[in-house]
Amino acid sequence: MKLFLQWTTLIPLLAWGLFFSGLIHESGVFQMVAGILLILSVMSAVHHSEVIAHRVGEPFGTIILAVAITVIEVSIIISLMISGGERTSVLARDTVFSATMLILNGIVGLCLFIGGLKFHEQIFSKHSATIALVSLVSIIILTLIFPTFTTSIQGPYYSTPQLIFVSVACLVIYGFFLFAQTKRHREYFLSTTEEDEPAGVQVTNKVFAMSLAILILSLGIVVLLAKTLSPTIESVIISYDLPKALVGVIIAAVILLPEGIAAIIAVRNNQLQTSLNLALGSALASIGLTIPCVAVVSGMLNMNLILGLDIKSIILLGLSVFTVMLSLASGRTNIIYGVVLLVNLAAFIFLIIHP
């Protein structure tokens, strides 16, 4: 435990040192090292977020990780918007859309598949899934679908009053979801096996403070390294004649890696409820907090913010949401649900490469 804690403490510090050394811009070798340190920093963030979650308890631990990951997402999008100007006006939409598809099909699908493979059938609170999915469907339609069909402005844009309304609506829905998760209906979001588990190692105030500090350092360097390496990723994608939309998928995948790992660890320990709290809470935070933030930045930069999806993407998104709703409707899962969701994810990526 101590060795792992030391390892997860050392890696972010090495990553910060490499970033400030300026060597990343010198050669491709240092960029590869930076990429490795980025992934390891993500794993460090996962470890320290688990320590914090153990201290504060559920569902607060999953909320902390979801909000932390959203901070990464917002920071990367805003920094790229500021540096890239008008050409990055679709970045928020592409990243949020990709994150939603990766969460609903990838993280949820993988958790259902692994859980079904190991335990045949797992149970969870269908009330928690219903609360999360009702909130998610509303936010998705308001942010990613309606802009394609509104008529105040030509194109997949919202007018300023519309963007303000939608931003406030997202914050209201997400705020009341957190209220339900932490206060009014907290029991829905607790693992059914939580009361039967031993208390485990107690997290002292010193360990808690250290984990919180290293978590912030890890998330910060992930943002900076992702921003630094994004032009390289984009140039590699273009050199292979692949669509630039893959950049948003890759950024979203890096951002969601901590939650994906944490969700898989939880489901392997037969805690599917924790995995679903992570996945669905992350999807809500990803859209419900990111869109209002980038709306403010786009207004400050006087930039048109493209939010509306095309018809093909709307159909894929609708398929994903509908499949997840059916998969989580009964409170019991099996391997078939996971397979179908993973096939949906494969279709999403395949249709980006071969539209």
Nearest alpha-carbon partner for 258 in 99, 97, 90: 99
pLDDT of residue 9: 85
- Residue carrying the six token digits 């890096």: 254
What residues contact 342, with CB distance under 8 A and at least 6 apart?
105, 106, 109, 110, 113
Structure tokens at 279: 């996945």
pLDDT of residue 192: 61
pLDDT of residue 196: 44
CB 152 within 8 A of CB 159: yes
Distance CA(335)–CA(322), nearest Å, equals: 17
Distance CA(78)–CA(234), nearest Å, equals: 17
- For the chain, 355 residues long, the average pLDDT of each consecutive 10-residue run is 65 90 81 87 79 74 74 74 67 85 93 92 90 93 92 86 93 91 84 50 77 84 79 79 78 79 87 88 85 85 85 94 93 92 94 86
- Residue carrying the six token digits 């039967």: 196
Task: Please report, for residues 96, 171, 316, the alpha-carbon distance to residue 142 in angstroms, rounded to integers and kept in the order given.
Answer: 13, 12, 17
pLDDT of residue 45: 79
Residue type, 79: S
3-state SS string over the chain? CHHHHHHHHHHHHHHHHHHHHCHHHCCHHHHHHHHHHHHHHHHHHHHHHHHHHHHHCCCHHHHHHHHHHHHHHHHHHHHHHHHHHHHHCCHHHHHHHHHHHHHHHHHHHHHHHHHHHHHCCEECCHHHHHHHHHHHHHHHHHHHHHHHHCCCCCCCECCHHHHHHHHHHHHHHHHHHHHHHHHHCHHHHCCCCHHHCCCCCCCCHHHHHHHHHHHHHHHHHHHHHHHHHHHHHHHHHHHCCCCCHHHHHHHHHHHHHHHHHHHHHHHHCCCHHHHHHHHHHHHHHHHHHHHHHHHHHHHHCCCCCECCCCHHHHHHHHHHHHHHHHHCCCCEECHHHHHHHHHHHHHHHHHHHCC
> What is the C-alpha radius of gyration for the chain, rounded to an integer number of angstroms?
20
Task: Please report, for residues 320, 323, 324, the alpha-carbon distance to residue 340 in angstroms, rounded to integers and kept in the order given.
Answer: 10, 8, 10
pLDDT of residue 199: 45
For the chain, report the end-to-end CA distance as a whole number of angstroms. Answer: 47
What domains, with CATH codes, occur in the chain? 60-201+229-353 (1.20.1420.30)
pLDDT of residue 141: 93
